Amino acid sequence: MADMEIVLPEKKNPGLTPMDWVIFLGSAIVGLVAVVGSLDMPKADLWVIFAILSTVIGYCAKTYFTFQQNMATYQNLITQSMYDKQLDSGKGTLLHLCDDVIQQEVKEVIISFFILMEQGKATRQDLDMQCEELIKEEFGEKCNFDVDDAVQKLEKLGIVARVRSSFSPSW
């Protein structure tokens, strides 16, 4: 609960506002004065007393149900906020990360194959250096290219073959 303002900045403590209390108490006092005033009359009409009491009770009920509606709105706000904060967690995030990893693996294989297609034949060190240069020239990013993993996948697919200490496309 100490971190509630950080987790839920829209948090507020719902309750009756001071104006609600003034209206509630004012109408209760006016209603009771009207009932007492009509009882003091020599000929008290029960229908008038019943009407005044039902009006006061009805108004109190309206105030209570308005408060309950505000509470439900507040709980809905909290629930919606928590749902929105949970959207980027769980299975969706895990699947997104897995998809990014797979795309990265495919990109490594494509870049390695592209360099081998241009060169025809390359050693592991040459292929590594040329792949890193290609990424630096095209994207302006310096990286440590994992050529072993890419070549292993190309060999597994039968796209390249190892000839002595170098790799070449196998067609």
* Confidence at residue 32, expressed as pLDDT on a 0 to 100 scale: 78
Task: Please say whether the structural domain 96-169 has been given the CATH code 1.10.10.10.
Answer: yes
How confident is the model at residue 3, as a pLDDT? 52
Q: Where are the domains of the chain?
A: 4-86, 96-169
Give 156 or 32, the one with higher predicted confidence.
156
Contact 84, 56 (CB under 8 A): no
CA distances from 168 to 5, 31, 57, 63, 162 (A): 61, 97, 91, 82, 7
Would you place residue 1 in the very low, low, confident or very high pLDDT band (cuts 50, 70, 90)? very low
Over the stretch 44-94, which tens digit does the pLDDT of each residue have?
677 777 887 788 788 878 878 888 888 888 888 878 877 776 776 667 777
pTM of the predicted protein model: 0.46
> How high is the pLDDT of residue 58?
86
Q: Look at the alpha carbons of 94, 96, 102, 108 in this order and tell me if their dihedral is positive or negative.
A: negative
pLDDT exceeds cutoff 80 at 119:
yes
User: What whole-number percentage of the chain has pLDDT above 90?
Assistant: 9
Better-scored residue on pLDDT, 13 or 113: 113
Give the tokens for residue 88.
């980027």
Cα 99 to Cα 62, 108, 110, 127: the distances in Å are 54, 14, 16, 26
pLDDT 10s digits, 5-20: 555 555 566 666 788 7
Q: What is the pLDDT of residue 129?
A: 92
pLDDT range class, residue 130, cuts 50, 70, 90? very high
| DSSP state string for the chain | -TTHHHH-TT-------HHHHHHHHHHHHHHHHHHHHHHHSSS--HHHHHHHHHHHHHHHHHHHHHHHHHHHHHHHHHHHHHHHHHTTSTHHHHHHHHHHHHHHHHHHHHHHHHHHHHHS-EEHHHHHHHHHHHHHHHH-------HHHHHHHHHHHTSEEEETTEEEE--
Rounded to whole angstroms, the Cα distance separating 24 from 35 reads 17
